[in-house]
Chain A
């Protein structure tokens, strides 16, 4: 299993980033080899469709499960199509990536059954 966790920094002690499509980094942990690698999220500054682009990127890294704070409708559809399992971090908490990984391995994270928010399309800065 390869698990991706959305992160605000490039290592295990960075605090977790609750956004999926616009997270700064993905930390990918390989359970078989007990190693991890960090990737900058190519979709972080995308003008639109960040969820789709991030999902595509994650799927191409051979990841099998993703942990984040929210999954929008487009990200959810793309990640489901790729056959990835999605897990939600506990709301209101900002643990480190390492802490979250421990919670996941202890089986304490909630699996996701559908999009967890309505998406951000149209919510333009400086708009209404």
Chain B
């Protein structure tokens, strides 16, 4: 069971929900993936001890200026304009490179070779309550988060991280980055369920619409958690009814919850009564997910 926790809008409480869900699930192996590699923060709540570290590289071209004749084939085949030939000078822009290798393949002089450019690092450990926790950390200044997330997901299912148990016994919880762009798409890809955390504000609703559009496009069943719930105009609820999107949980807007979260305490620690609510939430997710398979 793979659950991605996403939101569209940033700061709605993805990590709050994802971490408490991970802590509340009983009797299963829980694997937590912090996929917000630009600003991972779930470790502040779950407190893992990281013992495994693995770099993520991307192959980018390097020019042998002695062999290069400045013919320009490499620049012509690069879809991303990561390589430019100006006069007879070849310029490589590594941060624009997607690592496809077309330039190397098409160089008639074999003047291009590839080297691994560090994009980020993957880290794994376990939390005091036995959750297997892995995260990616993007290098500072590196613009493309997607390959780091892709590697993180691959790493999660290797025996090194996940011992020889079938994935049906494992609950994988992915804490997604904000937004609806490529890193979020990569986090959602392969997920069985999308738990969408929103807030009853115009911004929250606006971005919920975007993320709902995305999960529908990707054919992933979804449900909503309304966080910082307060007296509202009912717009969020009306949208959910119209979109046939179940509201699975509501967390009120209360000062002491905010204070506890800021101090790194999980929601279910400050409000133990929510433990049962999160177990119910997990049950509902399983029901909704299996129903979507039948349909």
> Which A residues contact B (CB, under 8 angstroms)?
43, 46-50, 52-53, 55-56, 59, 74, 77-78, 81-82, 121-122, 124, 126-128
Contacts and interface: CB of A to CB of B under 8 A. Distances in A.
B86 A55 contact: yes
A128 B179 contact: yes
B85 A56 contact: yes
Contact of B10 (A47, A53, A128): A128
B96 A48 contact: yes
A121 B180 contact: no
B144 to A, nearest CB: 8
B82 interface: yes
B115 interface: no
Contacts, number: 62
Nearest to B75: A56
Interface size, B (range): 20 to 34
B285 to A, nearest CB: 26
Nearest to A51: B81
B93 A74 contact: yes
Interface in B60-96: 75, 79-82, 84-87, 89, 91, 93, 95-96
Contacts of B178: 128
Contacts of B81: 43, 46, 48-50, 52-53, 56
B87 A82 contact: yes
Nearest to A49: B81
B179 A55 contact: no
A49 B93 contact: yes
Nearest to A48: B80
A48 B144 CA distance: 12
A49 B89 contact: no
A126 B210 contact: yes
Contacts of B75: 56
Given A56-B81, A124-B181, 12 more contacts: A47-B79, A48-B80, A48-B81, A49-B80, A49-B81, A52-B91, A52-B93, A56-B84, A81-B89, A82-B87, A121-B143, A126-B179
Contacts of B180: 126-127
A50 B143 CA distance: 15
Nearest to A121: B143
Nearest to A78: B84
A26 B210 CA distance: 36
B75 to A, nearest CB: 7
A50 B179 CA distance: 23
Contacts of A52: 81-82, 84, 91, 93, 96
A46 B80 CA distance: 8
9 contacts: A47-B79, A47-B80, A48-B81, A56-B85, A77-B93, A122-B143, A127-B181, A128-B10, A128-B179
Contacts of B181: 124, 126-128
Nearest to A82: B86
A56 B96 CA distance: 15
A123 B80 CA distance: 15
Contacts of A77: 91, 93
A77 B87 CA distance: 14
Contacts of A78: 84, 86, 91
Contacts of A48: 80-81, 96
Contacts of B93: 49, 52, 74, 77
Interface in B178-225: 178-182, 210
A59 B96 contact: no
A126 to B, nearest CB: 6
Contacts of B91: 52, 77-78, 81
A126 B89 CA distance: 37
A121 B95 CA distance: 9
B96 A49 contact: yes
A-B residue pairs, 9 tightest by C-beta: A49-B81, A127-B181, A52-B81, A82-B86, A124-B181, A127-B179, A122-B143, A53-B81, A121-B143
